[in-house]
Amino acid sequence: MEAASNKELRAIFVSRHVENRDYISLGTNLPIPTAGVLLAHLTHAPDLYLNVLNFFTNLSHVQRFEDLTQIANPAMAKYAENFMSMEEQFYAISRMDLSFASGLQVDMYGNQNLFGIGTDPANMKMRGPGPVGTSTVMATVKKYFIFINEHSPRSLVKKCDQVSAIGWGEGGPDGRAKYGFPGGGPQYVITPRAIFDFDEESKRMRLKYLLPPSTLEEIIENTGFSPVIPEKVEDMPPPTAEELQVLRTRVDTRGILRD
């Protein structure tokens, strides 16, 4: 079988961190984490509870997904087991196991900025679309992964111009505890070049896996701060035949992760 693409590796990484019975919200416009969650669903997590738009559903009986980019579509209503109002969705977050965040900027402690670029509130250089629900969700969800499509000094910054959702705050082991947040905070930052976790003490981003074809030098060059670099950077354990097969034949049937 053809080797896994960079995007496929990221989806498989997500899949391996999904547990059976998890409750997960599939965001719109995030095909890689969506593929990862669905791969888990069709392999080891048949009891997933999925929140797609305002539909509450389980898709373990779906044989193949025809278009991964269209999962967040009102046509999903046909699989719905429940409709949830926006209020009910927020009521459900305390039971949510995993969520995905993103940002125009993400800083070394996993804080995110979707408000805009510029430090002067009255005169920003560029306004982002806004945080949607992330400020509240990232404060309260059990755990979350940060997903960014661009790994550059512009997106991975020392300090965000604005902060729309807190990761580990100003760092340190009590980075979140001092706010009293009920949620567990960000566990991983997934970029096209690498996967990071957070150092237990400093709560700074720490390189976990390089993603091909990136090199350590490229990571250092393209990150706007100094991430923690462990003495030995392990490789991500390779995809199994089952993972690749289910991903390609049932989840990503159009091959959008192989582009």
Partner 1 sequence: MVSERHSVVISMEEAVSMVKDGDILGIGGFVTTNKPMALLRSIMKEGKKDLALVAGTSSIEVDMMIALGLVREVTSSYVGAEALAPILPFYSRRAGRTFQVRDIDQGTFITMLRAQILRLPFLPSWGPVGTTMPALNPLIKPVADPFGGPPLMAVPPLAPDVTLIHAAQADIYGNVQHLGAVYCDPMLARAAKKVIVQVERLVSNEEIRKNPGATTLACKFVDAVVVLPYGAHPTASQNYYSIDAAHISSYVKAAREFFADSKEPLEEYLNKYIKQPESHIDYLESVGLKNILGLSLEGGL
* 142-171 positions binding partner 1, by CB under 8 A: 162-166, 169
- How far apart (Å, rounded) are the C-alpha atoms in residues 222 and 258? 24
Amino acid at 112: Q
Q: Closest separation between CB of residue 145 and partner 1, Å?
A: 19
Residue 188 as a binder of partner 1 (CB under 8 A): the answer is no
Residue 60 as a binder of partner 1 (CB under 8 A): the answer is yes
Residue 62 as a binder of partner 1 (CB under 8 A): the answer is yes
Q: E strands of the chain, at which residues?
A: 23-26, 49-52, 55-57, 80-83, 99-101, 105-107, 112-113, 116-117, 126-127, 144-147, 156-157, 186-190, 194-198, 205-210
Q: Closest separation between CB of residue 218 and partner 1, Å?
A: 25
Is the separation of the CB atoms in 35 and 252 below 8 Å? yes
Question: Smaller CB distance to partner 1: residue 23 or 209?
Answer: 23
Which of 1, 2, 123, 213 forms a contact with partner 1 (CB under 8 A)? 123
Q: Which positions from 230 through 259 interact with partner 1, judged by CB under 8 A?
A: 242, 246
Which of 5, 17, 19, 58 forms a contact with partner 1 (CB under 8 A)? 58
Residue 46 as a binder of partner 1 (CB under 8 A): the answer is yes
- Helices 31-43 and 6-16: angle between axes, nearest 10 degrees: 50
Residue 116 as a binder of partner 1 (CB under 8 A): the answer is yes
Q: Closest separation between CB of residue 87 and partner 1, Å?
A: 6
Q: Is the dihedral of CA 73, 74, 77, 80 positive or negative?
A: positive
